[in-house]
Amino acid sequence: MLAVAFSIFGLEIRWYGLLIASAVLIGTVLALKEAKRKGVKEETLIDMLLFAVPAAIIGARAYYVIFMWDYYSKNPSQILNIRGGGLAIHGVIIAGTLVVIIFAKVRKESFWKLADIVAPSLILGQAIGRWGNFANQEAHGGPTDLPWGIMIDGVKVHPTFLYESIWNLLVFGFLLWYRRKKATVEGEIYLLYLILYSVGRFFIEGLRTDSLMLGPFRVAQLISLAIIMSGGAYLIWKKKRIKAE
């Protein structure tokens, strides 16, 4: 697969950007439908996304640049060049969550309700966006003899982007089912999204060859563990408190 989808007046339009844009659009449509079901005005959700989406993109890039500073400190002109990749989902989660917390406080809305509304959209968007890594021939694993391996620079490697995309789709399907059949606490869907995504990411990250590192540790694995433990503990506490009340 070529990284460039087509050109307009000499400007290259890349699959990475098209897929990210498609993920945002599809996720927005899905979230708007859920907002209507939850009794949240569409205007409120759109206003929130107008702040959250740009902040998430900035956060995703900033996160990546920080952990790749050895390179970007020597190539500052490349810091804003996101067309070739370099957006980290954990940066999206951190920046997006902070913006939604502030938005909810200003608008006097429930943060947890808003977070529950967008959680399925986030994981679906991640499943779509991972194919941008395929187009850029990045975020792949080490050598493998498995029949579904893909060729990168003449070497057959684990398609870790595919593993994560499939895992994200499974989590998406589970969240859609759970929110209608089992959810009893505000914030439960968002917390389950964080926990389940992190479980898959922890194991898949161990196969990748381009992990962001903090000393000898893979940053994504450290953050995934932190999310699993803190998110799980908070969800258990939250459900017990509601039950007691």
What's the confidence (pLDDT) of residue 195? 98
pTM for the predicted model, two decimal places: 0.93
Q: Is the pLDDT of residue 12 over 70?
A: yes
| Closest C-alpha among 191, 201, 204, 203 to residue 233 | 191
- Give CA angle at 134 (70, 130), nearest 5°: 85
Burial class (CB in 10 A: 0-12, 13-18, 19+), 239: middle
What's the confidence (pLDDT) of residue 182? 83
What's the confidence (pLDDT) of residue 86? 87
Q: DSSP of 79-136, one letter per residue?
A: TT--TT----HHHHHHHHHHHHHHHHHHHT--HHHHHHHHHHHHHHHHHHHHHHHHHH
Q: Which residue has the higher pLDDT, 245 or 128?
A: 128
Q: Is the pLDDT of residue 1 over 70?
A: no
Residues 6+ apart with CB under 8 A from 182: none
Query: How do residues 210-242 score in pLDDT, each as one tens digit?
Result: 999 999 999 999 999 999 999 999 999 998 988
Query: How do residues 121-165 score in pLDDT, each as one tens digit?
Result: 999 999 999 999 999 899 999 999 999 999 998 999 999 999 999
Find out whether 168 and 142 touch, Cβ atoms under 8 Å: no
What's the confidence (pLDDT) of residue 58? 96
Query: How do residues 38-90 score in pLDDT, each as one tens digit?
Result: 999 999 999 999 999 999 999 999 999 999 999 999 999 999 988 777 899 99
Q: How far apart are the first and last CA of the chain?
A: 55
Query: How do residues 176-213 score in pLDDT, each as one tens digit?
Result: 999 988 888 999 999 999 999 999 999 999 999 999 99
- pLDDT interval class at 9 (50, 70, 90): confident
Q: How far apart are CA 15 and CA 2, in angstroms?
A: 8
Find out whether 175 and 192 touch, Cβ atoms under 8 Å: yes
Q: Which helix or strand (DSSP H or E) is residue 11 part of?
A: strand 11-14
Find out whether 238 and 187 touch, Cβ atoms under 8 Å: yes
